[in-house]
Structures are given as C-alpha cells and as structure tokens.
Amino acid sequence: MASAMHPRARGAHGHLIRWTAAGALTVAAVAITIAIARAPAAATATPHLTLAAEAVATQGPLEFTEVVLSQQDVRMSLRVATSGAWTAAAVVANELCVTLVHGAPALARGRICLTRRVGRAALSYAPLNEDGSAHTPRRLAASVTRPTPNAFEATFLPAAASLPVGSYSWFATSAWTDPVTCPNTCKDRFPEDGVVDANLALLGAAPCFGAAARDPAQPCENPELALSVQPSVARSQDRNESFCDKRERKGLLSICSFGAPPDDAADTFALLGDSHASGLKPALEVLTLARRWRGRSMIRAACPPTQAVGPILPTPLRSRQCRGFNRQALAWLDRHREVNTVFLAAHVTAMVRRAPGKTMDETRQLGYRDEIRALLRSTDRVVVIRDPPYSSLGQLGCVGTALSNGQAPGISCALSRRAAVQPDPLVLAAESLRSARVRVIDLTPHYCDEFSCFPVIGGALVQRDKTHLTSTFSATLGPYILRALGD
C-alpha cells in the first residue's frame, strides 16, 4: 500500500527536519505507512528516504539504517534495522526506543523500547510525564521477530500504547556502550532533528477494502482491488495475534486481556463464545482504539455460550468441560463487575441435547435465552453478533482458479445466499427477550446481497475455511460494529 511522503526542511543540516505522511482518513481509512531509511544511494530501490552521510551520528552497532512505523488494519507495525548485529540481551543494557508524541499540546507521551522476556526479544511501554520523565515500563503485548541479526519487526495494538485516533508524531533513539567501539556511549536519533508526522485511523487499509466495499450507508468501489485477495489463498489460515497483555488461567478459563491498559481504559468489555466468537476479536480490537476500551476474551473451541443442559462436543469429556467452562465464565463475570458489555457469538449449528418435548431449535434458543438472562445479572448489556454465512469446502480453490484466469473471484465464486445464510438460534433467542439491554448486530449485508454471498469482498478474503473468518476481513467489520453500537 503506497503512501505519499513530503519532506520539509528549514535551515541547513537539520535545524528543523519534519517528515510528514499524507493520506485521507475515513471509517475505512487509507493506510498510513511511514518508511524512513538511512542508506547509501545504491540501496534506494525500496520506497524509503535517504539522508546525507553527514546525518550519521554514531558508529556503534545501533546506528539506524531503517525505521518504519506503519498501520496495518487495526495493528501498528514497527521495523527497526541498524548498522550492526546485536542480541536482545545486549540491547536491554543499552537503549533502542521509539518515542510517541501526541495530544494537545503535542508532547512526548510514551516510549516503546526493545527489551527481553523469557529469553526472547519483546517490547515494553512507559508513559511519560510532561517533563519527559518515565513511569515504570510495562509489558507491551506484541509479536516480535528477528528477521536478521541487526533488525527486529513487531506488531502491537495502538490502544495498548495509548495512541489515539488522529495526528501523532514519533522519533527513534538508540544508545550503545562497550569498551571497544563505544566507551563513551554511541548515540543515534532518527530523524536527527524534529519528528516524523503521521495519522492514525480506525483502520489502515486501502479505500473500500473489505467490509467497506459493502457499506449500505456509503456504497464504495475501488477498481484496483478487483483482482486482489488478501490474505492470499496460500495464506488463508491467517490467525490474528492475541495481543494479550495479561493471560489469566483459572480452572477451565483462559482470559486474555487486551486493548487499552487498565489505567487508561474508558470501559471494559468481554468476548465470550466458541471459535466463531474468537474470529470477531480483530473486529473488536477496533473498539479498543476508537473508544479506549479494554477487552477480556474467554473462548473455548466448539463450546457455545449456553445454559442448555447438554452441549454436544466431539467427546464426552469435551462436552463436560464445555458445561464447566460456561459455569466458570458466569462466575468470573459476576466477580468482575467492571465488565459492562458482553459480546456473544456462536456457530449456528452448535449441538445440544434436546430438552424433553422440545425440538433442537427450541432447545438451542432456550439455552441461549437462559445464558443471556444470567449474563444480565452481572453486566449492563449483552451484544449478540450474528454468525457469518457459510462458505463451501471448494471455495478457496475456486478463488485461486479465478485469479489465475484473470477473473474477479468475489463474483466468480459467489454462493447462493439461501444456502449460505442459516437461521441463528442465538440471535433468535436475543430478539425474543425484547430487552433494551440486549442488542443484536447483523453484519450479513457486508457479506451478501439479496441473492449471493461473496468469498472475496473489497479485496479481502472473507473466510479461511467453511465457517471461520480471516482476521483480515474481521478487522474491517470493526467500524460497523462501532456504528451499530451507536452510543
């Protein structure tokens, strides 16, 4: 995804250097990618800017050769490369950081630094006071890799670093001390003076990407996405990073906390359900950014959030564990009254043991109604998100074949809506309660028109298999969940 970069300079040799990235911000926003590299002219094939040789401030191994901070869907992506090789353990004793500047007035508000955890490279975040002094660093939930011995790449949620939607700036600093090359500490800063200007949107994506292409309120079309598919069919099993800053394990529960940190969160929500609920987590990560919310996810594969006596899973043990999980989840929520909203989702064909004199559909709805009523005893509201349409086992193959033939895969591989969209007993149960504290969000218009459901929408691959969303498409649903919540 391209971005326009416009350098402005005043004075000679960096009295004030400010780099800006230009791009429109809407609900489905243009991706904002800021890529800055310090490299010799021969290495300028990549779309990075090059600084003159006199800008080099140090000869230590942490001299910057590349710093990239960009937004990818709801995530932030950071890449830093330096002139020499290093280990995370060595950097912990030195410094390799990015400082974030935002707010009114624009001040340095936080610092992200490379650190080490459990023997591996990790990130920390420290809020900054107005005088620049730092609070105690905390763990920043991130996926960190070392593609080369002189670089690291990381992704993290902007809300976890207290970044708000809108304008912000950043700069990178490093410091290295060793008795041979840097006995007096070699330091570097990028840019040498000033900051890099940027904007943070709800989503970093091309116009009309994903669910935005089927926005009923604002019809949107981007011809450049007609023959594009992200993730590729070969990478259709993309999984979103959990970005858990805390993982609490109690009994059968594994509670992942994510989004805004506790001392910065405006509210707290929970996500409860099976793997279909898990597929909505990237969408709800958008809420952590838009509203500064903190999320708690409690997921158990194939286990519907129901009070039905006998959820049926592949084995008797898993069935018993599912019942226990649902009991423990209610008890946990009863102890954690800071959770004001619970999001529920489940596979439409989740099986339960039929109650005497009831059909399977009636038993499912009864179990879900009892679950919602139980939740309302400990939380303010319950939001049910309708399960996505079904795909087909051969749909990924169809998408690959269509692309090979130069055909638009969304239309070429569309399924009948009648076959793809099935009644959702969880939705029917929620609607039957007729409660102002229970809301249903139906995103079907973003998957389907009146007759067909599409496997590729706005260049985004919708599902990674017959029933599970890709994290890429899920993230693009976030602004529409936000819209449906309204308040």
**What 3-state DSSP class applies to 446?**
helix
Look at residue 219 in the predicted model and tell me its pLDDT. 87
Where is average pLDDT lowest: 25-29, 201-205, 243-247? 25-29
CA-nearest of 326, 380, 330 to 352 is 326
Contact 474, 483 (CB under 8 A): no
% of the chain surpassing 90 pLDDT: 84
pLDDT-derived band at 201 (thresholds 50, 70, 90) equals: very high
State the pLDDT at residue 240.
Answer: 64
Is the pLDDT at 53 greater than 60? The verdict is no
Strand-pair partners of 121 = 116
Predicted confidence band of residue 238 (pLDDT cuts 50, 70, 90): low
Instruction: Give me the pLDDT at residue 29, please.
Output: 35
- Distance, CA of 284 to CA of 51 (rounded, Å): 40
Contacts of 327 (CB under 8 A, 6+ apart): none
Q: For the purposes of burial, counting CB atoms within 10 Å of the CB of 365, is it exposed (0-12), middle (13-18) or buried (19 or more)?
A: buried
What are 85-117's pLDDT values in tens digits? 999 999 999 999 999 999 999 999 999 999 999
Better-scored residue on pLDDT, 322 or 242? 322
Task: Give me 138's structure tokens.
Answer: 């905390």
pTM for this model (two decimals)? 0.88
User: 356-390: per-residue pLDDT in tens?
Assistant: 999 999 999 999 999 999 999 999 999 999 999 99
Residue 11 DSSP label:
S
> Does the structure show a pLDDT above 90 at 20?
no
Closest CA to 120 of 137, 136, 139: 139
